[in-house]
Chain A
């Protein structure tokens, strides 16, 4: 068994965990100005208050894991995506402090609400741009980044930025459908109804543009045996979107969030298939970027022991804060 492949899988899982978990936090931030000032906003906040910083920790694991397992990739990708990454970090700083202060500083609550939304939008948009810039290829010279300051900024990367805004907003609304009651819940349902087709349109646009970026993607998608994946993928995603839309329309509570997760999972699987086995598409493979065996095996011990534990008590924390959010934060909900 190849350690490098295992490590690629671990990093992919960490990033996927981050995307879906912080995705619904950020999504609620993106939609925040649309919610009524007062109890609705408080409930939307309370729906994520106990879990948001645990969710954000997966981002540190993604970044830290990349440095540890693929130091060369980390050393090339981060300078290449300097501007969007710094913007993302600053957006997350804003979102994090706004979270804490909106309760505690009622005099400036408007300001903190705006900061919460702006931070979430900037961080999400920057993450989408990061993904787009990575997909469209990064110039590499020797063992470092060889491109310019603005290379990341293209129509395609902006398209990915907008798509992710829509995607996270959808995750956020589905979370609210699951976790809230009353007017906020009804409102979340309304948003989910039009965000679902919007996300389909965005995913379609990104998917149509992708094969034209790199010969590799074209090869991968439209040549045998890749066709076996390429053909069913749109059908699967479309099917999940349809199920999501129905679940929203028929008043289901947690099904919409699960279908939204399915859409994200399928999209990320599609990404992985497009990029594999590269860590920087078309330039550097996972084996070229991999840390030496001693580093990989040392960390694997830690992951093997800790990751199940982390998943277990993360699940426990989510279990403690299950059910609907009331005016007082989470309370027990008898079905």
Chain B
């Protein structure tokens, strides 16, 4: 490897590292913000203490996750320029405005109302406070909308033209074809549902943990029950949404699907589904493959004998690295089906009236608690690595997109990121786990940030 290749690899590793770390937090806070809105709404509606207790319990965890999302997200907004200057210059006129809209419509909404949400139930009253909670939840959605539009445009660019200095600019069709590019609706639905499932399993895992420990409080039961409803109903929807997304990818980024499937060869009369194997890019084959004949064609073309092209139709220099895509895809799908399994099991337990009694169900719930995060990262790895060697499919190669930063600088900054992130975010994650280890109590204190106190709060009411 020469130095430019090493620097490029380091830039890619740095992006992968910072974006992966960052995305753990939004994938949790998108789901948690909605969950909090549901809890607070149920509390206002039913006046049942358990909903308020759960709201306060999860709000504390949300505050930490959200703060870590904010600080790691600020890093992302500068990563494009520091490490990917050519990409910033050439794609800036298209992706810049979309990301600016994310800041204008989502970030301020979240940050502005989060202060009220965390510090203000006494100050603004329950009605306005609920409005603030809804605004924070809405903000997380709007944020997902814009950033996924940007990512989808890089995956399936549409509606662009090139100006005289080589920048990609909006074409005559204006912004709608850019924002609503072919893969965007599928990716948006798939990603938001993934955030919901991730949160549901984290919440359910915590509920299951406390049930196992014998804390059979109303709140622990409610956590577990709500999460299992989500698993039973949303996991199958997600599998369906993922399938639709895959078919869309087949249409627009066939090489990515070939890598996911491990199809080096074309199959003119029905392609097998390779369950497992070792993709061998050098020899262009999958070693030790375990296959189910015709199934891949059945899934992708709804016809067992339909022809499917393989990577032998794609020049070597345009092929994604198959092994990474192949394995991350299997991790994601495997977890998805395991989630479905747990959901069905919980339905069965519910029907038998044993939802809060079956220890093995609860153990499975605890074991599955963190899997949403793994599935989300695996899925992103599949789609991002599957886009390679392109940063913008067919328009800009990753090798041409980076800044001319020397290797020493890249090594130094990557080292700093790794040290700081592991220091700061492992402390944060450890703290979240510590919070989760406490069962939700009856009469959770109305105090989120600020000094830990045992005394009552000051009854400071506006004009009261």
A residues neighboring B (CB under 8 Å): 42, 46, 49-51, 53-54, 56-57, 59-61, 63-65, 67-69, 71-72, 74-79, 82-83, 85-87, 89-90, 92-94, 96-97, 99-101, 103-106, 143-145, 149, 291-292, 294-295, 298-299, 302-303, 306-307, 310, 313-314, 317, 320-321, 326-332
Our pick among B96, B174, B462 for the contact of A64 (Cβ within 8 Å) is B96
What residues on B are CB-neighbors of A69 within 8 Å? 96, 100
Q: Across the interface, do B81 and A327 meet the contact criterion of CB distance under 8 Å?
A: no
Q: Across the interface, do A317 and B112 meet the contact criterion of CB distance under 8 Å?
A: yes
Our pick among B73, B406, B451 for the contact of A327 (Cβ within 8 Å) is B451
Q: Supply 18 A–B pairs (Cβ within 8 Å), ascending by A.
A: A60-B103, A64-B99, A64-B102, A68-B100, A71-B96, A86-B416, A92-B71, A93-B75, A97-B67, A145-B85, A291-B96, A291-B97, A294-B93, A299-B101, A306-B108, A313-B108, A329-B119, A331-B460
Q: Which residue of chain B has the shortest Cβ distance to A95 in the bound complex?
A: B71
What residues on A are CB-neighbors of B315 within 8 Å? none
Per DSSP, chain B at the interface is: helix
Our pick among B103, B425, B461 for the contact of A332 (Cβ within 8 Å) is B461
What residues on A are CB-neighbors of B417 within 8 Å? 86, 90
How far does the alpha carbon of A51 sit from the alpha carbon of B89 in the complex, in Å? 33
Q: Across the interface, do B82 and A92 meet the contact criterion of CB distance under 8 Å?
A: no
Q: Across the interface, do A104 and B431 meet the contact criterion of CB distance under 8 Å?
A: yes
B120, CB-defined interface residue at 8 Å: yes
Q: Across the interface, do A90 and B416 meet the contact criterion of CB distance under 8 Å?
A: yes
CB distance from A102 to the nearest CB of B (A): 10
Which 6 A-B pairs rank lowest in CB-CB distance, beginning with the nearest?
A: A71-B92, A78-B81, A68-B96, A96-B71, A75-B89, A331-B460
The answer to whether residues A104 and B64 also contact, given A49-B450, A144-B86, A321-B119 and a CB cut-off of 8 A, is yes
Q: Which of B41-49, B161-169, B269-277, B291-299 contacts A (4 or more CB under 8 A)?
A: B161-169
Our pick among A61, A295, A313, A330 for the contact of B94 (Cβ within 8 Å) is A295
Our pick among B119, B123, B413 for the contact of A82 (Cβ within 8 Å) is B413
* Most chain A CB inside 10 Å of its own CB: which residue of B72, B119, B435: B119
How far does the alpha carbon of A105 sit from the alpha carbon of B417 in the complex, in Å? 23
Q: Across the interface, do A57 and B108 meet the contact criterion of CB distance under 8 Å?
A: yes
The answer to whether residues A96 and B89 also contact, given A64-B77, A67-B80 and a CB cut-off of 8 A, is no
What residues on A are CB-neighbors of B71 within 8 Å? 92-93, 96-97
The answer to whether residues A292 and B167 also contact, given A71-B92, A75-B89, A97-B71 and a CB cut-off of 8 A, is yes
Interface size, chain B (Cβ < 8 Å): 83
Q: Across the interface, do A145 and B100 meet the contact criterion of CB distance under 8 Å?
A: no
CB distance from A320 to the nearest CB of B (A): 6
How far does the alpha carbon of A92 sit from the alpha carbon of B420 in the complex, in Å? 11
Q: Across the interface, do A328 and B92 meet the contact criterion of CB distance under 8 Å?
A: no
Q: Which residue of chain A has the shortest Cβ distance to B420 in the bound complex?
A: A90
* Other A-B pairs beyond A56-B74, A78-B82, A328-B453, 6, CB < 8 Å: A60-B103, A63-B81, A75-B92, A145-B85, A149-B409, A332-B461
The answer to whether residues A68 and B416 also contact, given A49-B449, A320-B120 and a CB cut-off of 8 A, is no
Our pick among A50, A82, A143, A292 for the contact of B409 (Cβ within 8 Å) is A82
Q: Which residue of chain B has the shortest Cβ distance to A106 in the bound complex?
A: B452
CB distance from A74 to the nearest CB of B (A): 5
Q: Across the interface, do B449 and A100 meet the contact criterion of CB distance under 8 Å?
A: yes
Q: Across the interface, do B416 and A317 meet the contact criterion of CB distance under 8 Å?
A: no
Q: Across the interface, do B460 and A332 meet the contact criterion of CB distance under 8 Å?
A: yes
The answer to whether residues A54 and B108 also contact, given A75-B86, A97-B67, A291-B92 and a CB cut-off of 8 A, is yes
How far does the alpha carbon of A53 sit from the alpha carbon of B65 in the complex, in Å? 13
B residues neighboring A (CB under 8 Å): 63-64, 67-68, 70-75, 77-78, 80-82, 85-86, 88-97, 99-105, 107-108, 111-116, 118-120, 123-124, 163, 165, 167, 169-170, 174-175, 403-406, 408-409, 412-413, 416-417, 420-421, 424-425, 427-428, 431, 435, 449-453, 457-458, 460-463
How far does the alpha carbon of A59 sit from the alpha carbon of B71 in the complex, in Å? 11
Our pick among B119, B174, B425 for the contact of A49 (Cβ within 8 Å) is B119
Q: Across the interface, do B450 and A302 meet the contact criterion of CB distance under 8 Å?
A: no
How far does the alpha carbon of A105 sit from the alpha carbon of B424 in the complex, in Å? 13
How far does the alpha carbon of A79 sit from the alpha carbon of B89 in the complex, in Å? 12
Q: Which residue of chain A has the shortest Cβ distance to B94 in the bound complex?
A: A295
Q: Across the interface, do A92 and B74 meet the contact criterion of CB distance under 8 Å?
A: yes
How far does the alpha carbon of A306 sit from the alpha carbon of B100 in the complex, in Å? 11
CB distance from A138 to the nearest CB of B (A): 13
What residues on B are CB-neighbors of A60 within 8 Å? 73-74, 77, 103, 107
How far does the alpha carbon of A294 sit from the alpha carbon of B77 in the complex, in Å? 22
Q: Across the interface, do A79 and B97 meet the contact criterion of CB distance under 8 Å?
A: no
Q: Across the interface, do B428 and A50 meet the contact criterion of CB distance under 8 Å?
A: no
What residues on A are CB-neighbors of B424 within 8 Å? 93-94, 97
How far does the alpha carbon of A87 sit from the alpha carbon of B427 in the complex, in Å? 20
What residues on A are CB-neighbors of B406 within 8 Å? 149
Our pick among A54, A64, A79, A298 for the contact of B103 (Cβ within 8 Å) is A64
How far does the alpha carbon of A183 sit from the alpha carbon of B293 in the complex, in Å? 79
What residues on B are CB-neighbors of A327 within 8 Å? 451
Our pick among B78, B119, B453 for the contact of A78 (Cβ within 8 Å) is B78
What residues on B are CB-neighbors of A46 within 8 Å? 450
Our pick among B73, B101, B107, B115 for the contact of A302 (Cβ within 8 Å) is B101
Q: Across the interface, do A314 and B86 meet the contact criterion of CB distance under 8 Å?
A: no
Q: Across the interface, do A56 and B70 meet the contact criterion of CB distance under 8 Å?
A: yes
What residues on B are CB-neighbors of A71 within 8 Å? 88-93, 96, 167
What residues on B are CB-neighbors of A291 within 8 Å? 92-93, 96-97
How far does the alpha carbon of A331 sit from the alpha carbon of B458 in the complex, in Å? 8
* Most chain A CB inside 10 Å of its own CB: which residue of B94, B124, B457, B463: B94
Q: Across the interface, do A50 and B119 meet the contact criterion of CB distance under 8 Å?
A: yes
How far does the alpha carbon of A3 sit from the alpha carbon of B137 in the complex, in Å? 34
Our pick among B72, B80, B102, B165 for the contact of A93 (Cβ within 8 Å) is B72
Q: Across the interface, do B67 and A99 meet the contact criterion of CB distance under 8 Å?
A: yes
Q: Across the interface, do A310 and B124 meet the contact criterion of CB distance under 8 Å?
A: no
How far does the alpha carbon of A50 sit from the alpha carbon of B132 in the complex, in Å? 13
The answer to whether residues A310 and B108 also contact, given A83-B409, A103-B449, A332-B460 and a CB cut-off of 8 A, is yes
The answer to whether residues A97 and B403 also contact, given A149-B408, A314-B112 and a CB cut-off of 8 A, is no
Q: Across the interface, do A103 and B105 meet the contact criterion of CB distance under 8 Å?
A: no
The answer to whether residues A63 and B409 also contact, given A294-B169, A314-B108 and a CB cut-off of 8 A, is no
